[in-house]
Amino acid sequence: MKTPIVLAAFGTTTRAMDTYSFIDRICAERFPEHPIYWAFSSRIVKERSSGRKNDIRMQHPCQVLSELKQEGYDWAVVQSLHLMCGHEFFRLLEEVRECDIRTSMGLPLLNQPEDYYEIADIFIREFSTDDDEALVLVGHGTDHPGWCSYVALDHICRRKAPAGLYVGVVEHGHPTMDSVIRELKRAGYKRARLVPFLLVAGMHFAKDMSGAGDSWKRAFEAAGISVSLEDRGIGFNRSVIRLFCQHIEDALEVIP
């Protein structure tokens, strides 16, 4: 039997299933001989989604892995769909360690330096802007020591694209919204395109990035910078999912 692949996401109750279905299709194309399963670490999301009709069962990682063990599998790849190594990724590791089946972990999107450079290349290549428009990747942020992943990505983006590509976070840590606005004004930008650096453009996009209240859009406009918004998360970006698939390949390679 070919090693099963478990795609493990935190989960979200907003606009998620279309994104997950897209990811599922790309992974199935890349690994046609490997059965693919889904797991979600958010208990609240699982409870809220239990009555919905969709193609993906809302189960926690240990539920999925226990069923695979009962079906006779000795190994499974668990691919984290987190963007960096923060609280949720390490909670996933702890949960997977409690399962009876042997597992090989596929690491989050941003792990080794090559991942950061690849992500920078993807956005430089696929989100062209005019000389007077900045591209800003807006991530979630975290109070985990892994917050520095966003700073590292910003640093690499600025080296790859000396003008025009910035990174910020909506909560916890750096680079902050205010610091990004200061950088854009210092560089003379009058326009900015905000791109959710989130797997799913859900609540944080609707409220923190584009909302009518205290949002990034309002703050940029108040600073004299006009804003356009991408309304899809990076889970709909085929090149990003291919990078996740490379992490799956890496996890498969270590299984005897």
pTM, full prediction? 0.91
Q: 156 and 56 in one domain?
A: no
CATH of the domain at 151: 3.40.50.1400
| Whole-angstrom distance, CA of residue 93 vs CA of residue 111 | 15
Q: 137 and 38 in one domain?
A: no
Q: 230 and 124 in one domain?
A: yes
Establish whether 82 is an annotated binding residue: no
The average pLDDT across 192-204 equals: 90
Q: Into how many domains does the chain fold?
A: 2
**Residue at token pair 């009058």:** 190
| Whole-angstrom distance, CA of residue 45 vs CA of residue 37 | 17
Q: 217 and 138 in one domain?
A: yes
Q: 66 and 136 in one domain?
A: no
80 has which bridge partners?
A: 8
Q: Which two tokens stand for residue 229?
A: 């918004």
Q: 92 and 45 in one domain?
A: yes
Q: 231 and 117 in one domain?
A: yes
pLDDT in tens, 218-241: 999 999 999 999 989 999 999 999
Q: Residue 244: what pLDDT?
A: 98
Following CA atoms 161, 162, 164, 165 in sequence, which dihedral angle do they give, to the nearest 10 degrees?
50
Q: 228 and 240 in one domain?
A: no
Q: 245 and 212 in one domain?
A: no
Establish whether 253 is an annotated binding residue: no
pLDDT in tens, 97-112: 989 999 999 999 999 9
Segment among 137-146, 154-163, 219-228, 229-238 with least mean pLDDT: 154-163
Per the residue annotation, which of 60, 82, 87, 140 is the catalytic one?
140
Is the Cβ–Cβ distance between 177 and 212 less than 8 Å?
no
Residue count of the chain = 256
Does 140 qualify as catalytic in the annotation?
yes
Residue 92 is part of which domain span? 5-108+236-254
Is the Cβ–Cβ distance between 49 and 13 less than 8 Å?
yes
| Whole-angstrom distance, CA of residue 209 vs CA of residue 170 | 8
Q: 127 and 23 in one domain?
A: no
Q: Residue 104: what pLDDT?
A: 97
Q: Residue 44: what pLDDT?
A: 55
**Residue at token pair 């996740």:** 244
pLDDT in tens, 7-60: 999 876 556 888 999 999 999 999 999 999 999 987 655 555 444 444 566 789
Q: 187 and 164 in one domain?
A: yes
Establish whether 204 is an annotated binding residue: yes
Burial classification of residue 17, based on how many CB atoms lie within 10 Å of its CB (0-12 exposed, 13-18 middle, 19 or more buried): middle
Helices (H), the chain: 17-30, 43-49, 61-70, 87-97, 113-126, 148-160, 177-187, 203, 216-222, 238-253
